[in-house]
Structure 1
Amino acid sequence: MARNLILAATALCGGILLAPQAGTAQTTIDSIGVTVTTTPAITSDYLFRGLSQTRGRPAAQLTLDAEHSSGVYVGAFVSNVAFAGTNARSEVDYSAGYRFALGDLKLDLGGTYYSYPGYTAPRGGFELNFYELALRASYEIAPVKFVGLAAWSPNFTGESGSAVYLEGGFDMALDYGFTISPRLGYQMVERNIVPAAGSRDGYFGAPDYYTLSLAVSREIFGGFIGTGMVVWNSMTHSSGRSDCFGGSKTCDSRAIVTLSRPF
């Protein structure tokens, strides 16, 4: 049982957890109308949707994004991970989609495939790989940009069935180059707990939960972006901690720092 609980935790990997960057560095290939952004980063803890993916340890990450002038884009994300009880040590995500605008409303409709090269499901365990479709939206009323996310997977990590994640928040520019970015999210999964005896279905291993984060970011020097973030989720309190993948500290509230440099 504990093994499958750890597998479920890996569902929350997928995406670099940085506040919106204070500056943007890009390379444009005019002849084909493609803009490429490369963002290496180091972080004190790899978090996604409120949960640690490295058991409180640092991570080195790389995000690539190539967008055509038409709005079509492809991307990739790479990070180390550490899941107790598994041989999963790396994550590679592939994404593609279309970005467009309806007046002042900016939309991003895309999908991501989350993979864990080298991972082998143990006997009685379930696959980690899964894909997710997402709609992202933003609307700016300076100096505030409102953002939203709705994501759906037909078969979430751990083969746990349909899953939906909803998130909303805003980015606000402050004095002295700072940006503040609060987010509130809610994760729902079809099969949360161990199924009935004899069932071969996978499961998530934790109840549906809320997650709340607050990030502050600023360009430090030479294009390097520093981000500080505090994260809380509804399994943090004592009554819910035992529901967090068998009592794992993955769900504890924590603070992290990240340094990134977009090129």
Structure 2
Amino acid sequence: MAPSADQHARVIPGGFTVLSLRFSEDDAHAALHQLCVKEHRVRAESSTNRPLDRTLFVLNVPPYCTESVITEMFSRFGPVQSVELKERPGASEPSHSGLTKHFTDKHRQCFRVAYIVFRHASGVNAAKRHPENVPLVVSTAERPVKTGIHKWIQQYSDSLIKASSLQQDIDQFMNDYDRQKEEEAKRQNKEAEQQQEDEEGWVKVTKGSRGVKVRPHSETANERTLQKEKKKKERKELLNFYTWQHRNTQKEHIAELRKKFEEDKQRIAVLRAQRKFRPY
């Protein structure tokens, strides 16, 4: 149903629409909190996580509004696909903390900004047309939101970790670690076998599995390759030395044979001269 004349959206400079926020339905006379929303149109930050036509940018989000609370509140405008809360506007950054489910990042208790992604573009338009004098309710009977000491008690209870659950995660981590070490040892042994040389310097070449890509050389494999090249160079130098020595030996032997041949010729000539008949 279209809003009446006294129920209209209020647009402020910057293209933001003002939405009123009330904490509880029972606080009819309490002061209202104001949210500033507009369609997300920063093309430099456009990604699959924040589609330009279905993302609503929200400023001045109170600390007690979690992702689930915002999802419930804005579901009145259309199905909500995702909600992202940040301390300041900026590009979406994937979380790579590497923490387990038992240890989560701590967030500062401060006002934040939100990026609400609707399943359909009509959700963004409906939120922009929502009248200011119809506040959104944070805590309802069906969806109570804890604050103050009740919230702190709940946070403390959630921070306690069951020993059995933690031990299960530790065992899983150690099993994964041991498996990775075994696979690494097998891979290194396989590389060592493939790069192993025999006594004459030949390398045994084995055929890899079909469809398996060649793995890049590790530091150990690179070091073995350098050692192989060094040995080949030394072997080549030694072989060259042996070749040069063999040639010199052959030259000396031939020279010795020639010298002996000349000496034999001279000795034969002397013997022939001695046997020659000389009449007196």
Pairwise TM-score range, normalised by the shorter structure: under 0.3
**Bigger-Rg structure (1/2):** 2
Taking structure 2 as the reference length, the TM-score comes to 0.20
Higher normalized strand content (fraction of residues):
1
Taking structure 1 as the reference length, the TM-score comes to 0.21
